[in-house]
Structure 1
Amino acid sequence: MRDYPTNRRGFDRILTVLAATFLAVSTSAAFAQADVAKKSASELAIDAAIPTPEPANIPPPTAADFKADDVQPAPPVVRESKPDDQKTETRATDPKPADSKAADTATSHSDTSTNATASSDAKPSSVQPGPNPETTETKLDEPKTTAAKPDDVTAAPSDGIKTNEAMKDEPKKDATATITPAAAPSQAETGSATATDQPSEPVKAANIVPPADQPVAEKLRPLLDTEATKFFDRKAERAAIEKFYAARSYAPLWTEGGTLNAQAKGVIARLRDAAADGLNPADYPVPNFAAASSPDQLAEADLKLTASMMDYARQAQSGRMHWSQVSADIQYPEHPVDPEQVLANVTTAKDSSAALDSYNPPHKLYRELKQKLAELRGVGDGPVTQIADGPALRYTPARGKKHPAVVMEDPRVPILRAKLGVSENADDTHYDAKVAAAVRKFQANADLKATGVLDERTIKAINSPKRDRQIDTVIVNMERWRWLPRELGAPSLGDAYAILNIPDYSLRVMQHGTPIWTTRVVVGKPGVHATPLLTETMKYITVNPTWNVPPSIIYKEYLPALQQDPTVLERMGLKLERDRNGGIHISQPPGERNALGRIRFNFPNKFLVYQHDTPDKHLFAKETRAFSHGCMRVQNPDQYAATLLNIALPQEHYTPEKVRSMYGRNEFDIKFPTPIPVHITYQTAFVDHAGKLQLRADVYGRDAKILALLQNSSGRDLETVIAHAQPSYSRPRGSIPQQGVAFNENRGFGGGFDNSGPSFFERLFGVQTPPPQMDDRRRRIYGR
């Protein structure tokens, strides 16, 4: 009789080992599959195409490796039994019970098969009758050698099935030859989809490059791997471009079989017409694809066109310079392009020229300036015609009868005639004496040597956009429009917003794309008190505001006056208080004489400026209205407030009369449920409602500085941002006369920053006394 308890102990040990092996293999396969999912399409394609060296194929532990020392295998037993006992007879050499042996065989099958039902459907024909102990051990071990290891999952997801099925007819193979990545069976061969099946996308990516483009693709990859910084100097763009090319297996973007595709033609047309949008075509060079005769040259040309396309999209949307390069008192929200989105958008668009053009500002006032720019240059709505590069053209006059005139012929001559105003024989392709004379005249006016020869420098000068003062002013204002947000208004309020134009001294409220209210404003004085350019949101208005005098005015104007007359502030209705740190706070309570008038319009910003009423109405009658310390005084604040409140709180039905009824001595705020955007702009050129170009004086001298930056190539790098030191303003301190002045020692320093209103000396004596000069870096900004 068998010692079943002894055999059971050996059986339990074998089951434990087999279970551990199964868990290890399953976990490795899961990690391998997760690793596959993390790889990109191009990486998977490369993995599939290049066999990976396998590690040593050491078979998993078998039952023979874990036999107990005191357990001897039982001799073969032949039992005459019913047909149901056939399985027991064929496994009589196993030291375990027949039913346990069957369970072990099923477990072995489950280790190597990717189908969940394989363990319970093993065919009897796969087990040969009359085994000896060696044969039985081999059949237990052999399926285990085909279990997928982590390095094999991607290459051969279904080898276990193939090995089990092939056991019927194939001779026993060595374990190291059972897994071959290049010979992985397909899903059709295995009959079912497995958990480690490769996705179809990488296989598709491996074959995405047409044979005609394969040579260029083979050159593009090393170019991007080793010389990407030569073409793309911005890290984010470089990474996006490398990823984009890799995802398409480095197929060229702009050529098919060495010929320009439709997307390339559209992009090139837009780059050459960049002057129509106030940009410089020279900043976006177009490579000569016609002269590219080798895969190396085509690969370089492909990357050069990609670089020019990216430069155009970035500068069309965000500007050729950063606003911080112009002045420290400009603050607009950043809206850079997404390089991946640009690549996908332009390369897949039906009209790549229109797709690239869409990165220019969408604003109506910008489009109107673009139209005026075309009119000033004398061109129509279409692209500007350019003279193509080519051989130099010259006219050689006759020298006697023996040396007749030499007249060259070129298809570019009709375009040259049109550009230079030679109307006679407009379609003639001969470079004759009249054309040569026109070229000579142009060269003299363009500070070129007047040779009459159409050479490379002359062609470049003729193709350059026409320039004059008005054209430069329009271009500068088009550049400033690129700094503004693409959406000016609040969508939930009918795209409502307020926009103030400093050189025009005007304020408008816009809704649904049209102005619904306008008024005059007074802005900051040129210099340190210039009104900043910004975009913010108006969150509330204050009725009957308190004026908290800014530290700069306290330090420069009020403290010197207090030295002369300690009672002057009290007589003017101003309160002086000191905080615990010795800082001084001067304020003016609400009232008719308050410097802020009756209403303050609040859009919190780092410059601490705002819009407000004023008691000095006479300044609005002046043509030039730059008198404040930085804030903006509104001519009709009650109408302005009613207009804004009816947008933000339409159910309240505000009117100017209702607003005025709230005037008094008590300060209170009216908050907007939805903030209204406010844009402070600087438009020295704009188109009015009659379609006429309006030009305004450059009150702050901003146009000249922007124009100089536009003409300086080193100033067009958006990543070169000038750092402006923002000083930390301390509270004004000084010797303050104590007689006649009451202090509140516990008063904290606070209040808004309003630099507007008449100065102390203007109020006291009615004359303007120049304040002490302050370093330009010590601007209006101060810490509370």
Structure 2
Amino acid sequence: MRDCSNNRRGFDRVLMTVAATFLTVSATSAFAQDTSRSSPAELAIDAAIPRPEPANVPPPTASDFKTDTTAALPDAAKATDTQPTDAKAADAKVTDTKATDTKAPDAKPTDTKAVDAKPVDVKPAEPSATATSTESKPADVATTPATDSKPADAPKTDTAVAPPAAAPATETATAPAATPAPATATAPTAAPTPATAAAPATEPAKAASNVPAEDQPVADKLRELLASKTLRSFDRKNEHAAAEKFYSARDYAPVFTQAGKLTETGKGVIARLKNAAADGLNPEDYPVPDFAAATSPDALADAELKLAGSMLDYARQAQSGRMHWSQVSADILYPEHPIDPAEVFSNVTSAKDASAALDGYNPQHKLYKELKKKLAELRGEGDGPVVRIAEGPALRYVAARGKKQAAEEMDDPRVPDLRTKLGISENPESTTYDATVARAVQKFQSSVDLKPSGVLDDRTVKALNSPKRDRQIDTVIVNMERWRWLPRQLGAANVGNAYVILNIPDYTLKVMQNGAQVWSTRVVTGKPGQHATPLLTETMKYITVNPTWNVPPSIIYNEYLPALQQDPTVLDRMGLKLERNRDGTIHISQPPGEANALGRIRFNFPNKFLVYQHDTPDKYLFAKQERAYSHGCMRVQNPDQYASVLLNITEPNAHYTPERIRSMYGSSEVDLKFPTPIPVNITYQTAFVDDAGKLEFRKDIYGRDATMLSLLKNNRGKDLETVVAHAQPSYSRPPSSSLPAGVNVAGANGGWNNSGPNFFERLFGGFGQPEPPPVRRGQAQQQRRVYTR
């Protein structure tokens, strides 16, 4: 029998040699894959740590594997994501345990995944570095940020850029367990730290609120209220939207209260709302919640939004008015300038003085502020004492009648008080009831609908001593309201804020520049009723010397055509030319000349009402105290001076003079265009403060004050945006066949004649099509009986 023992030993030696070689190479390669240290200091430390010898170790069983308890998986989904890694690691561990001949008690299923994560080439000649490359330094692991998830011996990681959190959390938690037995002591310390740090990456923390803790309940309630569609604190959708945007930007923190107490912003807004009467507004329109009684978050949130709603109501009405101008008359047209609710929130809440910021929505014009001051004086709130006129005998002044009868003046101790009450600065201490006092009394009587006799009787004394809510106060309030309709910028900024302002009840036109009056003249305005001069703001673009008068359709169809029925030759005798357009309409015009209804100059500011300013042959009307005689246009007393003033503002180097303007008079139209258009503001001021600081009143010739007072007292002008402007009246056009026989129609044999430009172009130049003209618009003057505006 053959002795096989030696052969067996030889075979065993071969197997052991092969196995040792294989295991050595495998271990070297495996450990080398985790090696990233290359500095001399690190290599020296690695060399000092012994490497365990290989041993015959039985294959691992299921009991050798422990559940990974160092990585806190936030949810089931993330736990599921790690299963493939565990399975792969289990297979890798079989090889690992055979190679190291040791069983690491804390080894995790993902050990070999951590080892295999980053292959590194290591020279076989450096076993010490390879053998110790799996060491995990506790300090390195503990200080690694949550996103740095790599094998334990890697000083730097690349996982910070990976958004998924589940895989990095598993790798970070299990990486320290991949170390051999001698390094196992460091694993319990190193593993929990990165696992804990990695948790925020898988579930981001909620951003901290900027709302103070004491205001958070109110903020939560504000969020709920603003999200509700049934919220009634704001009447308009754009205001509700602006409030939602404003409060959401501040995490719904209240702005008018803090910790249940009013802030300076809240106090300022409340103060302005309670003082609304000083600007002619009604404080009852802007209710102020009782913050003292608001003790719960619900009550504070409700009060917050109610005050915000009142703030927006005040700003809107202070800027645009308590009523819309279209509610008053169809012949009013001003540019809209509504508030921006978002801008109000930002402006008022960020201002140092919220009351002043809210007051800024009122008109800032000088004449408005002067009326506001006079309103306070009329209410007895002025700086000086309230002046009352004592009862007594009637006082009168009788003017002199030639040389035979001298003027009769009465003396009375009440006259000084009367002078103060009426704003007479001349001889303030005089007790003589002279002509100056009598004229002032007469003017006051006209303003309060008393017979203008100039006699100080009991009714006049009673009117002078009227209670606080008297006619004068009402008149001042409606005039302050009309100032809200006007643009905040009245003039053209690039020519010294120059503008024209015409006051209909005062029959006066003024040219303003740099805040001062440059020039003034008398005007004639439209008759009350159908021919009232409209209120508007437009820009004057040019003037026309030697204008052709194109009769407005309203005058043609309402006045001239009926006149032709009685006298077919009337137009010829008046110097007017009648033409028939292709569409059957009638056009009547008057050529330039001295007798032209427009005089020598027309001032053009194109508008829907077809009105303008112009010269007139009828100069005698300017001598009258009340001058409402036109068909709607405005006749200017000194047009040559007016033209030179405007031209010198727009072209200061051209040196226009009245004489130069008059030298252009002739039979051909001459247009002088303005490089910069000048705004024209036609107003209706029955109460104003004159240059001497005196409060003046004028007759309400068009009844505008009465209409506005009715709207204000009945609160019918609240919803401005829902108001639709009244339709302009229309005129009826009789059929062409209604022209009587004998009427001279321009064109061959009275045939159809295309008159060229439409009426609006004839009137103002080629600016486009106008809206249908109203009945009352028009302008005409009769040559000796020619009707004109």
Opposite residue 163 of structure 2, the aligned amino acid is A
Tell me, yes or no, if the aligned pair for 2:215 and 2:254 is still in contact at 8 Å: yes
CA deviation map 1:617-654 (0-9, x unaligned) = 11111111111111111110000000000001111100
C-alpha displacement of 1:381: 6.4
Aligned to 2:753: 745
Tell me, yes or no, if the aligned pair for 1:143 and 1:160 is still in contact at 8 Å: no
Aligned to 1:319: 321
Which of residues 541, 553, 556 is equivalent to 1:554? Answer: 556
C-alpha displacement of 1:570: 2.4
Aligned to 2:492: 490
Opposite residue 682 of structure 1, the aligned amino acid is Y
> What is the TM-score of this pair, normalised by structure 1?
0.64
Aligned to 1:304: 306
What is the CA–CA distance in structure 2 between the aligned matches of 1:231 and 1:688, rounded to whole Å?
A: 42
SS state of the match for residue 229, structure 1?
coil
C-alpha displacement of 1:720: 2.6
What is the CA–CA distance in structure 2 between the aligned matches of 1:731 and 1:715, rounded to whole Å?
A: 36
- For structure 2, the 5+ residue unaligned runs are 1-73, 86-94, 97-111, 122-148, 177-189, 385-466, 765-772
Matches within 5 A, 1:552-701: 552-701=554-703
SS state of the match for residue 517, structure 1?
strand
C-alpha displacement of 1:765: 5.7
What is the CA–CA distance in structure 2 between the aligned matches of 1:549 and 1:274, rounded to whole Å?
A: 48
C-alpha displacement of 1:215: 2.0
Aligned to 2:163: 148
Asked if 1:273 corresponds to 2:288, the answer is no
> What is the TM-score of this pair, normalised by structure 2?
0.64
Tell me, yes or no, if the aligned pair for 1:547 and 1:594 is still in contact at 8 Å: yes
What is the CA–CA distance in structure 2 between the aligned matches of 1:363 and 1:689, rounded to whole Å?
A: 15
Which of residues 711, 714, 730 is equivalent to 1:712? Answer: 714
Number of aligned residue pairs: 557
C-alpha displacement of 1:250: 1.5
SS state of the match for residue 651, structure 1?
coil
C-alpha displacement of 1:763: 4.2
Opposite residue 230 of structure 1, the aligned amino acid is R
Cα 1:282–1:765 shift into 2, 3 Å: closer
Cα 1:369–1:160 shift into 2, 3 Å: farther
Aligned to 2:217: 215
Aligned to 2:480: 478
Asked if 1:339 corresponds to 2:341, the answer is yes
Opposite residue 753 of structure 2, the aligned amino acid is E
What is the CA–CA distance in structure 1 between the aligned matches of 2:717 and 2:703, rounded to whole Å?
A: 18
Tell me, yes or no, if the aligned pair for 1:537 and 1:676 is still in contact at 8 Å: yes
Tell me, yes or no, if the aligned pair for 2:611 and 2:778 is still in contact at 8 Å: no
What is the CA–CA distance in structure 2 between the aligned matches of 1:376 and 1:557, rounded to whole Å?
A: 47
Tell me, yes or no, if the aligned pair for 2:150 and 2:175 is still in contact at 8 Å: no
CA deviation map 1:537-592 (0-9, x unaligned) = 11111111111111111112222232333333223221111111111111111111
Opposite residue 752 of structure 1, the aligned amino acid is L
Q: CA RMSD in A?
A: 4.2
CA deviation map 1:71-122 (0-9, x unaligned) = xxxx99xxxxxxxxxxxxx99x99xx999xxxxxxxxxxxxxxxxxxxxx99
Which of residues 524, 529, 541 is equivalent to 1:539? Answer: 541
C-alpha displacement of 1:698: 0.2
Cα 1:171–1:259 shift into 2, 3 Å: closer
C-alpha displacement of 1:162: 7.3
Q: Which moved more, 1:297-306 or 1:641-650?
A: 297-306
Q: Which moved more, 1:270-279 or 1:217-226?
A: 217-226
Aligned to 2:45: none
CA deviation map 1:260-296 (0-9, x unaligned) = 1111111111111111111111111111111122221
What is the CA–CA distance in structure 2 between the aligned matches of 1:638 and 1:57, rounded to whole Å?
A: 95
C-alpha displacement of 1:310: 1.3
What is the CA–CA distance in structure 2 between the aligned matches of 1:702 and 1:376, rounded to whole Å?
A: 21
C-alpha displacement of 1:166: 6.1
Tell me, yes or no, if the aligned pair for 1:709 and 1:716 is still in contact at 8 Å: no
Tell me, yes or no, if the aligned pair for 2:555 and 2:778 is still in contact at 8 Å: no
Cα 1:598–1:263 shift into 2, 3 Å: same
Matches within 5 A, 1:369-384: 369-380=371-382
What is the CA–CA distance in structure 2 between the aligned matches of 1:690 and 1:331, rounded to whole Å?
A: 31
C-alpha displacement of 1:668: 2.2
CA deviation map 1:502-530 (0-9, x unaligned) = 00000000001011100001111111111
What is the CA–CA distance in structure 2 between the aligned matches of 1:182 and 1:355, rounded to whole Å?
A: 49
Which of residues 246, 249, 263 is equivalent to 2:248? Answer: 246
What is the CA–CA distance in structure 1 between the aligned matches of 2:175 and 2:670, rounded to whole Å?
A: 93
What is the CA–CA distance in structure 1 between the aligned matches of 2:683 and 2:604, rounded to whole Å?
A: 17
- For structure 1, the 5+ residue unaligned runs are 1-51, 64-74, 77-89, 100-120, 128-138, 150-155, 186-201, 383-464, 772-779
What is the CA–CA distance in structure 2 between the aligned matches of 1:316 and 1:515, rounded to whole Å?
A: 27
Tell me, yes or no, if the aligned pair for 2:499 and 2:680 is still in contact at 8 Å: yes
Tell me, yes or no, if the aligned pair for 1:612 and 1:634 is still in contact at 8 Å: yes
Aligned to 2:514: 512
What is the CA–CA distance in structure 2 between the aligned matches of 1:55 and 1:666, rounded to whole Å?
A: 93
CA deviation map 1:474-511 (0-9, x unaligned) = 00000000111111111100010000000000000000
C-alpha displacement of 1:182: 7.1
Tell me, yes or no, if the aligned pair for 2:746 and 2:753 is still in contact at 8 Å: no
Aligned to 2:63: none
Opposite residue 288 of structure 1, the aligned amino acid is D
